[in-house]
Structure 1
Amino acid sequence: MKLIFLGSGSAFTVGAGNYHSNLLLISDRGNKLLLDCGSDIRFSLHEVGYSHLDITDIYISHLHSDHVGGLEYIAFTTKFDPRCQKPRLYLSKDLAADLWEKTLSGGLRSVEGELNDLDTFFEVEKIPRHGSFTWENIEFKLVKVIHINNGFFVMPTYGLFFEIAGQKMFLTTDTQLCVDEIKDYYDRADLIFHDCETSKFPSPVHAHYNQLVNLPAPIKNKMWLYGYQPGPLPDAQHDGFLGFVRRGQVFDFSPSTDRDRPVSADMNISS
Structure 2
Amino acid sequence: MSLQIQMLGTGSAFAKTFYNTSAMVTNEHARILIDCGFTTPKSLHKLGITPDQIDGIVISHIHADHVGGLEEIAFRLFYQHNKKRIKLFITEPLAFILWENTLKGGMNNPEDGYISLDDYFDVILLEENKPTEIFRGLTIEILPTQHILRKTSYSLFINSRIFYSADIRFNEQLLIHEVVQKRNCHTILHDCQLSGTGVIHATLEELLTLPDDVQKRIFLMHYDDKMPAYIGQTGSMTFIEQYQILTLPE
TM-score by length of 2: 0.90
Any idea what SS the aligned residue of 2:159 has?
strand
RMSD: 2.0
Q: Does 1:99 align with 2:94?
A: no
Q: Counterparts of 1:11-160 in structure 2 under 5 Å?
A: 11-14=13-16, 16=17, 18-29=18-29, 31-83=30-82, 85-110=84-109, 112-134=111-133, 135-149=135-149, 153=150, 155-160=151-156
Q: Secondary structure at the match of 2:9?
A: coil
Change in 2 beyond 3 A, CA 1:112/1:190: same
Is the CA contact (8 Å cut-off) linking 1:196 and 1:207 kept in structure 2?
A: yes
Partner of 2:163: 170
Deviations 1:60-96 (A, max 9, x none): 0000001100110111111223456311000122211
> Contact conserved, 2:21 with 2:221, CA < 8 A, in 1?
yes
Quote how far apart the aligned CAs of 1:137 are. 2.7
Amino acid at match of 1:85: K
- Gaps (5+ residues) in structure 1? 256-271
Counterpart contact for 2:128–2:143, Cα < 8 Å? no
Query: Is the Cα–Cα contact under 8 Å of residues 145 and 178 in structure 1 kept in the other structure?
Result: no
More moved, 73-82 vs 182-191: 182-191
1:254 deviates by 5.8
CA distance in 1, matches of 2:113, 2:92: 26
- For residues 8 and 244 of structure 1, what CA distance do their matches in structure 2 show? 9
**Map 1:220-235 → 2, pairs under 5 A:** 220-231=215-226, 232-235=228-231
Q: In the aligned structure 2, how far is the partner of 1:139 from the partner of 1:215?
A: 27
2:172–2:210 contact (8 Å) kept in structure 1:
no
Shift in Å at residue 236 of structure 1? Answer: 4.8
Q: What is the SS of the residue equivalent to 1:6?
A: strand
Asked if 1:184 is matched to 2:191, the reply is no
Deviation beyond 4 Å, 4+ runs, structure 1: none
TM-score, length basis structure 1: 0.83
1:260 corresponding residue in structure 2: none
**Residue 75 of structure 1 aligns to a residue in which SS?**
helix
Instruction: Please tell me the residue identity of whatever aligns with 1:214.
Output: T
Quote the residue 1:214 is aligned against: 209
Q: Once the two structures are superposed, what CA deviation does each residue of 1:41-76 show, in whole Å capped at 9, x if it has no partner? A: 111111222121222200000000011001101111
Please say which of residues 108-117 and 65-74 is displaced more in the overlay.
108-117
The answer to whether the Cα contact below 8 Å between 2:87 and 2:121 also exists between their aligned partners in 1 is yes
Counterpart amino acid of residue 12 in structure 1? F
Letter in 1 for 2:208: V
Whichever residue aligns with residue 99 of structure 1, its letter is L
Separation in 1, partners of 2:31, 2:81: 19
Match of residue 235, structure 2, among 239, 254, 265 = 239
Contact 2:56–2:87 (CA<8 Å) still a contact in 1? yes
Count how many residue pairs are aligned between Structure 1 and Structure 2: 243
Contact 1:10 1:228 in 2 (8 A): yes
Q: Percent identity?
A: 28
Report 1 or 2 for greater relative contact order, CA contacts < 8 Å, sequence distance ≥ 6.
2
Q: Which residue of 2 aligns with 1:261?
A: none
Unmatched segments (≥5 aa) in structure 2: none
**Mapped partners of 2:249, 2:28: distance in 1:** 8
Native 8 Å contact 1:21 1:226 kept in 2: yes
Q: Which has the higher helix share?
A: 2
CA distance in 1, matches of 2:45, 2:110: 27
Q: For the Cα contact (< 8 Å) 1:198–1:233, is it kept in 2?
A: no
